[in-house]
Amino acid sequence: MKEKETEEKTYVEDIDRSIYDFRYDEKDSYRVDEGLTEEIVRQISEEKNDPQWMRDFRLESLKIFNKTEMVDWGPDISGLDMDNIVTYVRPNTDRMHANWDEVPTDIKDTFERLGIPQAERESLAGVGAQYDSELVYHNVKDEVASQGVIYTDLESALHTEHADRIREHFMKLVPPTDHKFAALHGAVWSGGSFVYVPSGVSVEIPLQSYFRLNAPGAGQFEHTLIIVDEGAYLHFIEGCSAPKYNVANLHAGCVELFVGEGATLRYSTIENWSKNMYNLNTKRARVEKNGKVEWISGSFGSHISYLYPMSVLAGENARAEFTSVTFAGEGQNLDTGTKVLHNAPNTSSYVNTRSISKSGGISTFRSSVVVSNKAKGSKSSVSCQSLMLDDISRSDTIPAMDIRTSDADIGHEARIGRISDDVVFYLMSRGMSEEDARALIVTGFADTVGKELPLEYAVEMNNLIRLEMKGSIG
Amino acid sequence: MAKEILHVKDLKVEVEEKEILHGLSLSANEGEVHVIMGPNGAGKSTLGYSLMGHPSYIKTGGNISFLGEDITDEPTDKIAKRGMFLSFQNPVEVPGITLSNFIRNALEQRTGKHVRVWDFNKKLEATMSILQMDKDYAMRDLNVGFSGGEKKKAEILQLLLLAPSLAILDETDSGLDVDAVRTVSQGIEEYKKQVNGALLIITHSTKILEALSVDKVHVLVDGRIVAEGGSELVDEINKSGFERYIS
């Protein structure tokens, strides 16, 4: 009986992604052969002029990779054939720049279209931009640098006075033995950032790294190492995107965060990889006494994701907060969640996640909370809510808890729901179209994360949701 | 002659394959206050939802004309844009949009024009003060954590700012204390003053009607209008209830 509009009804996801989905012909000056061999790892190491220990580390990691079984407990990744992945693509620029005008035009245009230089001018203390395997731009505002804050790429830092500090921390939180893709990362890592905030320094405005994968069939393996010393504060933002190709791309990055005594680190990510991406990323934070890590995570892109940022609460009274939203649309299987290890007295963790699935998308939330017998008086609260937008989508919640002390306060809550017809009707009764009403309900559902993000990222997140909701009725 | 706002003719409505309204007719002109009274389960709220085009309320017969146009099969958002407004018995909570932004957005939908924030905010504040609403509510998410009374006031606030041609108030007085009922009544008076529209007040009690001059009362029992009259019907029902209409 109802007359419905038919324009905009067709599913046009790949066209509508135009903000992210543009590409330039690859003009890389250098790319290694497909696949993974000792020869390739040596080539990458050569290309990067690694110190000897790093070269040995890469080769050792490769051995571990070859010995380690493929993961078999999560979404199917058999579509990922390592023999077809190019692990290193150097863009056509011979070095990293601190001035956008020196960055090659096509690369600069890419970041302009993504709004990075503008964000840098308006609201960031420093920016790093990675294109395929290498950082093409890195700059930090003078006032931040003068406080002793280091924000640079890892490779060049390996040849400076920071070398020892890097060696002391590099892949100590996420060792190559952790899982197969951690080993792969150890062998072929390239790019990423090294951040050091000295004791007592509070960086008032955020630093941001943006990762862009332009080359088809390539992998991106950036390593982010952040050390926030005693009593210091930092907000670090990471963004990622890629245009869509018909071949599989792989992202196996690694993030290691060291939060010192009484320090606070906020780590925000809006991930919007294209839907041919295998996003097998490992992130981990170690938090000392009275320190705090705050994870804010938005996962929108990729074909398959395995993503479980972990907080190791190593010192008394250390705290972790984890806030995330995951949106799985057509053809996406996003397996996300978090892990917390309470390993000292009076530590606390607070986890609040939202996941949305639509058009056959699969969204799985996994959490693991371990409270060791050393963690008396600890508290943990885990809450996950899922929203399924239709009957063909799927949402699962898999919480695990391992509590080794009787003196702990642990809570878990999970809810799975659908968009309420009553709310849609209410909004429509005020003149809103059905599509807008549903989009509003979904952004409202994701608002716990939106509220935690800086305004321009919250706007970007809401735009991503609107994009996903467009034409979804019918 | 006063302009006809609403004309319902022989309306039959089904919900989940069960007929609730069995051929209902009524019409309302501009400036008039109509009251729909009836016991629980008579179909009063069904009438409100059906007029507003709720998709679960299937119209199997008759038609609805609003401002001279047939809107029987129109979707809810179109009907709203034409100027019909339903104040809900249980307004829903909508996180993610503030009350203020929500009303401004609705006003833009209704008028098809950009609404200037400055002008809107001034009017919003003035209207909130008529309704004795704390202006902090404007910046809170729509109805989230509002008390029952504040939710109803937020509905009347929308009514006053959207200024619709037809306002359907579904049990707006239910669950309110005496003071809140008085405030809501003032809001309705204000609407009458500002807009030359029609009011359709759905209620099973008479509290809200004390301060209003009623033009016509329709008694709805078991999906049919069984009696119609002036405000004297309200007094009568007050005294003897609906007993005599229930067969």
B211 touches chain A (CB under 8 A): no
Let me know: does B59 contact B12? Beta carbons within 8 Å: yes
- The DSSP 8-state label assigned to residue A308 in this structure reads -
Residue closest to A85 by CA, chosen among A181, A212, A10, A224: A181
Residue closest to A341 by CA, chosen among A386, A296, A293: A293
Burial string for A114-153 (b: 16+ CB within 10 Å, else e) reads bebbebbeeebbbbbbbbbbbbbbbbbbeebeebebbbbb
Supply the pLDDT for residue B247.
66
B169 touches chain A (CB under 8 A): no
Complex-level ipTM = 0.96
Does the pLDDT at position A472 exceed 60?
no
Helix (H/G/I), strand (E/B), else coil: A108: helix
Task: For chain B, state the CA radius of gyration.
Answer: 18
Supply the pLDDT for residue A3.
38
A432 touches chain B (CB under 8 A): yes
Low-confidence ranges of chain B (pLDDT < 70): 1, 247
Which residues lie across from A368 on neighbouring strands?
A: A339, A400
Burial of A254 (0-12, 13-18, 19+ CB in 10 A): buried
Flag if A429 and B141 touch (Cβ within 8 Å).
Answer: no
Supply the pLDDT for residue A305.
96
Residue closest to A215 by CA, chosen among A282, A155, A134: A134
Backbone angles phi, psi at A78, to 5 degrees: -70, -15
The whole-chain average pLDDT of chain A stands at: 88
List CB contacts (< 8 A) between B59 and chain A.
1
Type of residue numbered B41: G
| pLDDT tens, position by position, A220-268 | 999 999 999 999 999 999 887 777 777 888 999 999 999 999 999 999 9
Q: How far is B22 from chain A (nearest CA, A)?
A: 19
Tell me which H or E stretch contains A186: helix A180-188
A417 touches chain B (CB under 8 A): no
Flag if B109 and A431 touch (Cβ within 8 Å).
Answer: yes
Q: How far apart are CA A286 and CA A291, in angstroms?
A: 9
As a whole number, mean pLDDT of residues A409-416 equals: 92
Q: Which residue in B59, B77, B166 has the most chain A C-beta atoms within 10 A of its own C-beta, making it the best mutation to test that interface?
A: B77
Flag if B105 and A432 touch (Cβ within 8 Å).
Answer: yes
Looking at A219-357, which runs of residues are DSSP E strands?
Answer: 219-220, 223-228, 233-241, 249-251, 254-259, 264-272, 277-287, 292-299, 304-307, 310-313, 319-328, 333-342, 348-357
Residue closest to B199 by CA, chosen among A93, A165, B207, B187: B187
Question: Which residue is closest to B57 within chain A, CA to CA?
Answer: A1
B113 touches chain A (CB under 8 A): no
| pLDDT tens, position by position, A123-132 | 787 888 888 8
Does the pLDDT at position A109 exceed 90?
no
Flag if B75 and A423 touch (Cβ within 8 Å).
Answer: no
Q: For chain A, which residues make up each domain, given as ranges?
A: 13-307, 420-474
Q: How far apart are CA A119 and CA A230, in angstroms?
A: 29
Question: Which residue is closest to B52 within chain A, CA to CA?
Answer: A429
Flag if B96 and A443 touch (Cβ within 8 Å).
Answer: yes
The percent of residues above 70 in pLDDT, for chain A, comes to: 93
Q: How far apart are CA A241 and CA A211, in angstroms?
A: 7
| pLDDT tens, position by position, A146-166 | 999 999 989 989 999 999 999
In chain B, which among 6-25 make CB contacts under 8 A with chain A? none
B110 touches chain A (CB under 8 A): yes
Residue closest to B109 by CA, chosen among B130, B88, B79: B79
Supply the pLDDT for residue A10.
32
Q: Fold for B4-245, please state it.
A: Rossmann fold (3.40.50)
A184 touches chain B (CB under 8 A): no
Question: Which residue is closest to A449 within chain B, CA to CA?
Answer: B96
C-alpha B134 chain-centroid distance: 23
A17 falls in which pLDDT band (50, 70, 90)? low
A6 touches chain B (CB under 8 A): no
B75 touches chain A (CB under 8 A): yes
Let me know: does B104 contact B120? Beta carbons within 8 Å: yes
Supply the pLDDT for residue B99.
96
Supply the pLDDT for residue A136.
82
Q: For chain B, which residues make up each domain, given as ranges?
A: 4-245
Residue predicted with more confidence, A459 or A428? A428
| pLDDT tens, position by position, A285-323 | 999 999 999 999 999 889 999 999 999 999 999 999 999
pTM for this prediction: 0.84
Supply the pLDDT for residue A18.
57
Concatenated DSSP letters of A53-85: HHHHHHHHHHHHHHHSPPP-SSS--TT--GGG-
A419 touches chain B (CB under 8 A): no
Q: How far is B72 from chain A (nearest CA, A)?
A: 9
Flag if A444 and B162 touch (Cβ within 8 Å).
Answer: no
Cα angle for residues B154, B159, B163 (degrees, 5° grid): 150
As a whole number, mean pLDDT of residues A56-76 equals: 94
As a whole number, mean pLDDT of residues A442-452 equals: 86
